[in-house]
C-alpha cells in the first residue's frame, strides 16, 4: 500500500467545514487542534509505511525485518532527523541515505524538514495540555490542509525515489 491522502484530506475538510460554520471561538480552537492532531497521526503512519516497505524490499533476513518492525512500533514521533532519517539509515545505510537525499526533488528536501519541525513544535504545544493553558497559536484547518499537501508531496517523492534507486 502506498501512502495516500484521501482520508486525511476528507477529515481535515470536514473539520474545516465545521470550523467555518461556527462563530464560537472555542469550537474553532477544537476543530483546529483536532485537524493538527489528525495530521500528525497521518504523518507518523505514512513515515512508518515508507520505512516498513523499504525494510521489506531491502532486507532479506526475517530477523532484521522484525527488528525494524519493532523499532517502528516503538517510534512515536515524526521528526525528520531523529525518527524518519534514523530509521531509514538503519535499513539502507548512510551512503544510500545520502544518495536518497541527493535524488529527491530539491523542493521535497527543502519542504519536509522545516514543515515537520514547525508542525512538531505546534503539536507539542497543544498535545500535552488543554486549550486554556496551551499556546494560543492554532492554524485553521485550511492551513493544516496546505501543510498536509506539502508533506504528502514530499513523502511521496521520498517513497518513489527509494523505489527508483532500488532501496
Write the pLDDT tens digit of every residue in 20-34: 999 998 899 999 999
pLDDT at 44 over 60: yes
Q: What is the pLDDT of residue 38?
A: 97
Higher pLDDT, 75 or 156: 156
Distance, CA of 156 to CA of 76 (rounded, Å): 20
125 burial via Cβ count (<10 Å: 0-12, 13-18, 19+): middle
Distance, CA of 39 to CA of 151 (rounded, Å): 10
Write the pLDDT tens digit of every residue in 68-83: 999 999 988 899 999 9
Q: What is the pLDDT of residue 136?
A: 67
Which range is least confidently modeled, 35-49, 75-89, 118-132, 151-165? 118-132
Per-residue cell: 24: 464560537
- Percentage, residues of the chain above pLDDT 70: 95
pLDDT at 4 over 80: yes
Q: What does the domain layout of the chain look like in residue ranges?
A: 6-164
Q: What is the pLDDT of residue 131?
A: 65
Please state, in angstroms and as integers, the Cα–Cα distance from residue 144 to each residue in 9, 12, 38, 97, 161, following that order: 10, 8, 10, 29, 26
Per-residue cell: 151: 508533506
Distance, CA of 39 to CA of 55 (rounded, Å): 24
pLDDT at 1 over 60: no
Distance, CA of 135 to CA of 158 (rounded, Å): 32
Average pLDDT, the chain: 93
Q: What pTM was estimated for this model as a whole?
A: 0.92
Higher pLDDT, 121 or 16: 16
pLDDT at 102 over 90: yes
Contact 140, 32 (CB under 8 A): yes
Amino acid at each position: 500500500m502506498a501512502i495516500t491522502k484521501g482520508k486525511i484530506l476528507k477529515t481535515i475538510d470536514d473539520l474545516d467545514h465545521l470550523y467555518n460554520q461556527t462563530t464560537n471561538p472555542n469550537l474553532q480552537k477544537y476543530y483546529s487542534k483536532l485537524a493538527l492532531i489528525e495530521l500528525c497521526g497521518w504523518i507518523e503512519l505514512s513515515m512508518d509505511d515508507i520505512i516498513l516497505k523499504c525494510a521489506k524490499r531491502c532486507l532479506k533476513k526475517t530477523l532484521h525485518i522484525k527488528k525494524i518492525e519493532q523499532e517502528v512500533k516503538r517510534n512515536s514521533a515524526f521528526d525528520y532527523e531523529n525518527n524518519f532519517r534514523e530509521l531509514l539509515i538503519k535499513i539502507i545505510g548512510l551512503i544510500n541515505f545520502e544518495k536518497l537525499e541527493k535524488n529527491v526533488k530539491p523542493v521535497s528536501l527543502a519542504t519536509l524538514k522545516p514543515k515537520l519541525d514547525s508542525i512538531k513544535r505546534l503539536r507539542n504545544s497543544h498535545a500535552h495540555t488543554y486549550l486554556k493553558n496551551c499556546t494560543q497559536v492554532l492554524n485553521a484547518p485550511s492551513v493544516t490542509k496546505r501543510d498536509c499537501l506539502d508533506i504528502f508531496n514530499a513523502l511521496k517523492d521520498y517513497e518513489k525515489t527509494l523505489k527508483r534507486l532500488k532501496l
